[in-house]
Chain A
């Protein structure tokens, strides 16, 4: 099946800093989503972005499908941005395959 690799595994930021999370995938995809897992375990939708660029407030994402990667940008980070960020892709087997996640810690 498709392989999804996220980097870095851990990221420690000072409040106000910017950061970039990366997701590489091993095959072409029909669907790519970024999620933020809250402390209670729920996956919160950030972006549905199989290709192109989207922005939502301080977050933006870019997927370059032809080169098989996606980037999630966090600008002016806040302590509430802390948590685990997951990239998930749906290839031709019609299920979401998740990366291992990036754990972000934002310090005040």
Chain B
């Protein structure tokens, strides 16, 4: 059974650019969540999608957005990148709320 797949694994972007990250969940899982990990703030929740609907959103600026497709794959977009957006972005998939979550390998974003 394939795990959660995130692409790309590494990205280097310039301030002001935008970036799109992709996450393919485990087959059969309909919930996809995104998290940001930084040394200073730890692991923080960005948003959660279920059946193409955003059900929950963390405390991040509107520059961070996401979507989910009918096949449950999800993308997150960060516009007008800032140096502080440099982080490891992790995607998790689960069957639904209150079920075990499984994480992908992450996308390491560096903004220069």
- A contact set with B: CB distance below 8 Å: 30-31, 33, 35, 40-43, 45, 48, 86, 88, 90, 93-98, 100-101
Q: How far is the CB of A30 from chain B (nearest CB, A)?
A: 4
Q: List 7 A-B contacts (CB under 8 A).
A: A41-B108, A45-B100, A90-B98, A94-B56, A94-B98, A96-B92, A97-B45
Other-chain residue from A33, A41, A45, A96 in contact with B37 (beta carbon distance below 8 A)? A41
Instruction: Select one of A43, A48, A101 contacting B103, CB under 8 A.
Output: A43
Q: How far is the CA of A32 from the CA of B55 in the complex (A)?
A: 20
Which interface residue of A31, A41, A98, A100 has the most chain B CB atoms within 10 A? Answer: A41
Instruction: Tell me the B11-47 residues at the A interface (CB within 8 Å).
Output: 33, 35, 37, 42-43, 45
Q: How large is the interface on B (under 10, 10 to 19, 20 to 34, 35 or more residues)?
A: 20 to 34
Known: A33-B100, A45-B100. A95 touches B105 (CB 8 A): no
The reply to whether B98 and A96 form a contact with Cβ atoms under 8 Å apart is no
Bound Cα distance from A86 to B100, whole angstroms: 15
The digit string for B96-112, where 1 denotes a CB below 8 A from any CB of A, is 01111111111010000
Task: Please state if B103 and A42 are interface contacts (CB–CB under 8 Å).
Answer: yes
The 9 closest A-B pairs by CB, nearest first: A98-B43, A48-B100, A43-B103, A95-B45, A30-B98, A42-B105, A41-B106, A94-B97, A41-B88
Contact of B106 among A42, A48, A88, A100 (CB under 8 A): A42
